[in-house]
Amino acid sequence: MAMTDLFFKSALLPSGWESSVRISVSEDGWIQQIMSGTSSDGCKDVPGIAVPGVPNLHSHAFQRAMAGLAERGTSSTDTFWSWRERMYAFLERLSPKDVEAIATQLYVELLRHGFTSVTEFHYLRNDIDGSAYQDPVAMGQRILSAADQAGIGTTLLPVLYRSSDFGNKPPAPEQKRFVADVDDLISDIAALKDSTANNPQYRVGLAVHSLRAVAPEDLAYAVSSFRDIDTEGPIHIHVAEQTREVDDCLAWSGARPVEWLLTNAPVDEYWCTIHATHMTAEEATRLAASGAVVGLCPTTEANLGDGLFRFEDFSNAEGNWGVGTDSHVSVSPIAELRLLEYGQRIARQERNIAAGAQDRSTGRALLQHAWTGGSQASGRSTGALEVGQRADILSLDENHPALVGRTGDEILDSWIFSGEHTPVQNVIVGGKWVIRNGHHEREEEILNNYATVLRRLSS
């Protein structure tokens, strides 16, 4: 199999910062060899400083199109729950073609800011009237088509959604586009796995929307059925995002959401708990011990007024976490990591929280979690420049004002904490150069398609 040799003036490898680095990539996008202190002879010279691409572990792609449309005050208290009503109204008009156009634009934006893969928590399943499409995986295939057009690695998670609240209450009319039977959902997952089996860019897993949307017996059956077809596939679930959810779970079961999940589900290193905002110290310690990743989405959590994650307790227990952009009020991994750190600084009135009272770079600590946790949660071999990993690589512009004169981990600190304009210059995903000098080769066409959809939706 033919290989491509990429040359970088400087690169962050597991061993540390190295100079004159050659990365050899197989035709299907895997890193086969890495050499440092070598020449660029016979290589494609990639300008900039090479670092691993960042995995985005939580996305609802269609929500990119409504970012900014729920920022008007009301006469009553505005919360996540009132935002959710606006979201329901927005999605009533979306067709599969619309979703594809929105997702493609989003994925190009994610790439330009440094995400090289995305985990799509995919619950917009049914037609506008709530009936199944003739092809039940039509929406999922549109997401994969969008990912293919953009060139981003993707983990697709079809979502189980059965009820409107704890106690298996029937779904509300506005939730009709989400509802799925367990057997039908598992069949969809199997079909999507078959269609992507020969493409290492893609992975398919299972998402359970939340404890309020899935009864215990359905949760157990779905997980068991999924494990019959994929013993190590990713399983994601929203949990404990809102205090009302915690109160309702206590009223229903006598246990808090994370407590209930850890006691009643086979949570392990293949699981990812999205948000897990409202935990006790004991829950945080138990969740860390399970090996599961917590999916943090700081800008969305801030936008919705969710609250702050119990970072200190979870970190002290050596818990794993990564970041996602969720509702896409931000499309930048750096914005997510910066807000995560700043939220903890404000709460604790201290600095350099992620560094953990050690003599190390805060930026490096934040990014290392994003790389490692994101890779684990997505079920993809990414997040490090090493042999056997996907060739998902960013190059940062060394002449960008935020990075001029920076060396070593100062580069990562300055990337996160200095300025807003992204220094991401080039992006390589699975060995393919998808962003060159900050631009995608199809960005104008993709933006025009997106704009057409938004103008129609706003008319």
361-387 residue pLDDT tens: 999 999 999 999 999 999 999 999 999
Report yes or no: 100 and 61 within 8 Å, Cβ to Cβ: no
Average pLDDT, the chain: 96
pLDDT digits (tens, 9 = 90+) for 40-53: 999 999 999 999 99
| pLDDT value of residue 1 | 60
| pLDDT value of residue 80 | 76
- Give the chain as a 3 state SS string: CCEEEEEEEEEEECCEEEEEEEEEEECCCEEEEEECCCCCCCCEECCCEEEECEEEEEECHHHHHHCCCCCCCCCCCCCHHHHHHHHHHHHCCCCHHHHHHHHHHHHHHHHHHCEEEEEEEECCCCCCCCCCCCCCCHHHHHHHHHHHHHCCEEEEEEEECCCCECCCECCCHHHCCCCCCHHHHHHHHHHHHHHHCCCCCEEECEEECCCCCCCHHHHHHHHHHHHHHCCCCCEEEEECCCHHHHHHHHHHHCCCHHHHHHHHCCCCCCEEEEECCCCCHHHHHHHHHHCCEEEECHHHHHHCCCCCCCHHHHHHCCCEEEECCECCCCCCHHHHHHHHHHHHHHHHCCCCCCCCCCCCCHHHHHHHHHHHHHHHHHCCCCCCCCCCCECCEEEECCCCCCCCCCCCCHHHHHHHHCCCCCCEEEEEECCEEEEECCECCCHHHHHHHHHHHHHHHHC
Average pLDDT over residues 420-432: 96
Average pLDDT over residues 1-21: 95
| pLDDT value of residue 344 | 98
Nearest to 324 by CA among 358, 275, 266: 275
Q: State the Cα–Cα distance between residues 177 and 126, nearest whole angstrom.
A: 4
Q: State the Cα–Cα distance between residues 70 and 90, nearest whole angstrom.
A: 10
Strands 3-13, 115-122: pairing is unpaired
Report yes or no: 415 and 395 within 8 Å, Cβ to Cβ: no
**pTM exceeds 0.85 for this model:** yes
Q: How many CB atoms lie within 10 A of CB 333?
A: 31
* pLDDT category of residue 354 using cuts at 50, 70 and 90: very high
Q: State the Cα–Cα distance between residues 421 and 203, nearest whole angstrom.
A: 31
| pLDDT value of residue 304 | 93
Domain annotation for the chain: domains and CATH numbers: 3-51+387-443 (2.30.40.10), 53-378 (3.20.20.140)
Q: Tell me the catalytic residues.
A: 275, 326
Average pLDDT over residues 41-70: 96
* pLDDT category of residue 156 using cuts at 50, 70 and 90: very high
Q: State the Cα–Cα distance between residues 353 and 345, nearest whole angstrom.
A: 7
pLDDT digits (tens, 9 = 90+) for 393-417: 999 999 999 999 999 999 999 999 9
The percentage of the chain sitting over the pLDDT mark of 90, rounded to a whole number, equals 91
| pLDDT value of residue 86 | 80
Q: State the Cα–Cα distance between residues 342 and 183, nearest whole angstrom.
A: 43
* pLDDT category of residue 336 using cuts at 50, 70 and 90: very high
* pLDDT category of residue 76 using cuts at 50, 70 and 90: low
